[in-house]
Amino acid sequence: MSDGIKSSSEVQYFVTTADLAASRLPNKPTSAFRVLLGNGTFWRVVALVYMLLVVLAWPTVFTGSDLPIAIQGVLFSLIICLPLAAVVLVNALQLQRRTRIPFYRNVIFIRDFIQIVFLVVILLVAFTLANNLQTNLAQSGLNINFGVIGRNFGTELTEGPSPSEPLDFLNNLPVIGSTLATAPLLQPDTVFRALGTGLTNTLRVVSLSLIATTILGILVGVGLLSANWLARNVSTVYVEVFRNTPMLVQLFFIYGGVIKALPSRPPEAVQLPGSVYISGRGLYYPALIPTSTADYVTVLSLLGLALGIGLWRWRVRLNEQTGKPAHGFQYFAGAVLGCGLAGLVLAFLSGGAPFMVEVPQMGNFNFTGGSSLSAEYVALFLGLTLYTSAFVADIVRAGIQAVPKGQLEAAHALGLSNGQTLTQIILPQALRLAVPPLTNQYLNLTKNSSLGIAIGFVDVYNVATITYNQTGQSVALFAILMVVYLALSLIISLVMNLFNSRLQLKVR
């Protein structure tokens, strides 16, 4: 008797005292859907196989049938739902027999019934849409053809990694040596490779923007709470202006109003210190070109990095155990710089400089040599960074404000300086709170990178649009785009969730 009452926390039904007296309550009244969709794998598989069979068999059975489309749709959804409905009905009747509650008053039945109706409606809509799709495709002479990605891609792309290694984006991150605007136009041979090039470009701009956004956002976020009146107000104005105007307007302004308004001929380009030039065509800067001895530096720098991380962790542990100051970053920097220098010395001893610096040379119409970033890339990078960092700044501000004031006072009482308090006490706690909303902003940044199409940046969305113009395969391309962006979102969420779970305090 008591079993039946206990299990009713989520299943509500009306019980009479007569029921209680008669002890007629079922032990576990379960929904038919719970059986089919919930815990029984076998029945789930059976139901799915059945649905699949109906969907597959439908066209062969009903092609050329005289029945009106509406009736076909109703039939289709009913046939799919029939076994479900049968199970639901049997279940309801069983319940009625066991509980003596009329089945139409039973919550379990009502829910099952609503779900069946919902399913029928959804199937009906899906059937109608699929039918319309088929008719429209037949009328326009198109087929949904995912083979479009193997098709020849007849257009030149203005930037991206070289077509021979389209997906090798690690070598093409814009840190060193991607000569983009000066490279000859790319002509990927297939749409697949073109999409790869576009994806690479998306990743190039997103990766750099993510880093820049984080740094700028933290700086401005700290500035929002600064004791310095000027810094505080400048930060506030920055955040309000960039948050309250659409990113597309900012992007257009940066691209059309600032970068494209610069003179495009090299002699008139704006020169920044260190042989960096900005013209209407892009940003030109010296390239580091590795020579034969570069491997020494690379290998030793990597060693230094590993050593540095090890040292850092060791110092932190030492600090936790003994209370001695950690100086982790100093040790890390020392290890990296030391090893890097050693690599340089070794390289020079073994036969000359490890890197050549190639300075961009002015030509009449373009720069030669050096590295470059296209105007579109620079504009999109700036747009994404400025827009998103305003949001990040506000998140950081909220995080800092959420740190209890006692922490700050305790830190001051311990004699920590303002800088130490910020970096050791406040930011670690604030960022911990800020990670989930930051994840959202990173996702937004990734998705907003698709706005590059408005200024002609060759990203994956742009390539898809070009392909659409060539082939008209809107449905297939839309599916591909969706998969790409969903995958990107998923990856970023996964990474940030991992980071988040590492960062959160382990509460026992």
Q: Which residues bind another protein (CB under 8 A)?
A: 10, 12, 33-34, 37-38, 107, 111, 114-115, 118-119, 122, 129, 132-133, 135-137, 139, 226-231, 234, 240-241, 243-250, 252-253, 256-258, 261, 418, 447-448, 450-451, 453-454, 461, 465, 468, 474-475, 478, 481-482, 485-486, 489-490
**Is 139 or 164 the residue whose CB approaches another protein more closely?**
139
The H or E element spanning position 3 is: helix 2-6
- Per the listing, tokens 């009906």 go with 124
Q: How far apart are CA 143 and CA 138, in angstroms?
A: 8
SS3 per residue for 211-254? HHHHHHHHHHHHHHCCCCHHHHHHHHHHHHHHHCCCHHHHHHHH
Q: Which two tokens stand for residue 462?
A: 């742009």
**Is 136 or 497 the residue whose CB approaches another protein more closely?**
136
- Tell the smallest beta-carbon distance from residue 412 to another protein (Å): 14
- Tell the smallest beta-carbon distance from residue 27 to another protein (Å): 20
**Is 90 or 137 the residue whose CB approaches another protein more closely?**
137
**Is 126 or 346 the residue whose CB approaches another protein more closely?**
126
**Is 59 or 310 the residue whose CB approaches another protein more closely?**
59
- Tell the smallest beta-carbon distance from residue 87 to another protein (Å): 13
> Which amino acid is residue 418, in one-letter code?
N
**Is 101 or 344 the residue whose CB approaches another protein more closely?**
101
- Tell the smallest beta-carbon distance from residue 468 to another protein (Å): 7
Answer yes or no: are the C-beta atoms of 328 and 315 closer than 8 Å: yes
- Tell the smallest beta-carbon distance from residue 447 to another protein (Å): 4
- Tell the smallest beta-carbon distance from residue 226 to another protein (Å): 8
The residues, ordered by sequence, that sit 6+ positions from 198 with a Cβ below 8 Å of its Cβ are: 157, 160, 458, 459, 460, 461, 462, 463, 464
Angle in degrees, CA 364, 365, 370, rounded to 5: 90
SS3 per residue for 284-321? EECEEEECCCHHHHHHHHHHHHHHHHHHHHHHHHHHHH
**Is 417 or 504 the residue whose CB approaches another protein more closely?**
417
The residues, ordered by sequence, that sit 6+ positions from 302 with a Cβ below 8 Å of its Cβ are: none
> Which amino acid is residue 363, in one-letter code?
G
Number of H helices and E strands in the chain, helices first, is 17, 8
- Tell the smallest beta-carbon distance from residue 323 to another protein (Å): 28
